[in-house]
Amino acid sequence: MTQKLLSVIALTVLAFAPSANAQIPPRVGGAEVPSLSPVIKKAAPAVVSIATKRTVQQSRNPLFDDPNFRRYFGIPDEPQERELQAVGSGVIVDAKAGYIITNAHVIEGASEITVTLRDDREIKAEIVGQDTGSDVALLKVAANNLADMPLADSSKAEVGDFVIAIGNPFGLQHTVTSGIISGLGRTGVNPDGYEDFIQTDASINMGNSGGALVDLDGKLVGINTAIFSRSGGNIGIGFAIPSNMVKSVMSQLIQHGEVRRGMLGVDINTRITPEVAQSLGLENTKGAFVSEVTSGSAADKAGIKAGDVITSLNGRTIPGPAELRNMIGMLTIGEKVEIGLIRDGASKRVTAVIGERTARAQAPGRVHPALEGATLSDADRGTGVVIQAVADGSPAARNRLRANDLIVGIDRQRITTVEQLRGAVQNRTSFAITIQRGNARLAFVIG
C-alpha cells in the first residue's frame, strides 16, 4: 500500500472520528457511567413541547384600505390579519401544581398555547406570568401523572461540568445533546435584559428555547434560551438562564403574576477606565462607579455616597455597571444585601434593604399604540419617563426604543411623568420624541 494511499485513509478516519470534546467521564461519584441513558430517562419526561398560535396584522400599503382604490384597480379583499404558529420547549418544575417554565419569547403574543407531553398527551396551557427582562415565563396545565424536574443550585455549577440539553429543535421532540459548561456569568447577549447566563457547548438550535439544561444528577441547572451564531445554526456557543434566577422569577410570577423589581437608588452609568481607576487609586477597573445617589433611597439609607466604587454584592464580585444592574434587578423588594465598596482608597461594607421604585411601572400599550410593548415609569427626581423594558417585535421596538431610554420630550414639550407623556401623545398619529440614551440625546419622529 503506497504512502499516499495511507495518508488518504488516515485523513478519512480523522474526518469521521467522534469529537474529543465533551467526552463522558468514566466514573461519577465512584460509579461507572457507561451511558447518559439513566440520567435522560430520569429527566426527559419533565421536558415538554410547546406550540403557540398568535394573530398578527399584515403590513400593506394604506391605499389598499380604500375600497374605491381596490375596486378601481381590481384588487381583491384580503384579510388584514394572519395566524402564525411557533414551537419551543418547556420544563415541568411542579407536577402537583402543573407549573411549566419556558422562555418569555416562546409564548410572546400567543393567543393559544398547547403543551405536548412525553406520552403524547396534548394539553392547553394558561400563562401564570412572564418577565421579558429575564426571558422567563411560567405556564400552568391541569393534568394528572405529570413528571417534574428538580432544580439544581446553579451557584455550584463550575466550568467543565458535564451537562445535557433536552428540547425540541426544529420540532424534533425530545432531542438530547451533551456537552460541558463553557462559561458562567455571561452578559451582553441581550443588553436590555437581566443576564447571568450559563454558556454551554451542548448543541442548541431553534426550538430548544425554553428546554432543559440538565446536570448529571438529572436536575435542572438552566433553561436554554439563546445561541451565538452567524448562520442560525449551532456552532457550540449556547446560553441558558441559571436555575437560581429561574427560581427567583418563578416565585414572583406565582405570587404577583409579574416581577416587581426593587431599586438600590444609584446612578452607575460611568464605566471605570484605566485612567479613572488610576485617579481613584484602584488596583483594577472592576466595579461600578457611583456618580449619584438618590435621596431617601436604599443606597442613601445604607450610607453609599457619590464617588464610591461598588465592588461586590453579597460576596459576589461586581465586574462592572451592567453586572450590578443585573444582580439588583433580580432582587426582591425588602431583601437585605451586603455591599462591598471602596471609598477614598479604603474598603468598606454596608448593608442595604432593597427599596420599592418611586413609581410603579405602567402596563405596556396604555399610553399610545406606537409605544405598545414598552414598560414605562416615572424616573427619579422628575427627570423624565424611563423605559424599563421593551418587548421584542413590539411597536415600541420597531420604533427604535430600547430599555433604559429616558423619554424627556414630545415635540417641544418637556416630559417628566407618564401622565404628561400620555396627555402629550393623546389622539396623535405621529409625534417627535426626544430621548436620553446613555450620554447621547436623540430625537426622531414616531408614527
Q: What angle do CA 422, 403, 387 make, to 5 degrees?
A: 25
Closest Cα to residue 262, out of 361, 377, 389, 355?
Answer: 355
209 is catalytic: yes
Which residue of the set 89, 131, 134, 135 is catalytic? Answer: 135
Long-range contacts formed by 235-239: CB under 8 A, 24+ apart: 236/179, 236/182, 236/201, 236/203, 237/182, 237/199, 237/201, 238/165, 238/199, 238/200, 238/201, 238/202, 238/203, 238/204, 238/208, 239/186, 239/189, 239/197, 239/198, 239/199, 239/200
Which residue of the set 49, 89, 105, 405 is catalytic? Answer: 105
Distance CA 3, CA 376 (A): 72
Report residue 280: phi and psi, to 5°: -90, -5
105 is catalytic: yes
Q: What angle do CA 389, 394, 396 make, to 5 degrees?
A: 65
- SS3 of 227-292: ECCCCCCCCCCEEEEEHHHHHHHHHHHHHHCCCCECECCEECCCCCCHHHHHHHCCCCCCCEECCE
Closest Cα to residue 277, out of 266, 289, 267, 268?
Answer: 289
Taking residue 406's Cβ as centre, other Cβ atoms within 10 Å add up to 17
Query: Per-residue b/e over 100-135, b at no fewer than 16 CB within 10 Å?
Result: bbbbbbbbbbbeebbbbbbeeeebebebbbbbbbbb
Strand order in the sheet with 47-57: 122-124, 112-116, 47-57, 81-94, 99-102, 136-140, 126-131
Which residue of the set 89, 209, 243, 394 is catalytic? Answer: 209
Distance CA 280, CA 266 (A): 18
DSSP 355: B
Catalytic residues: 105, 135, 209
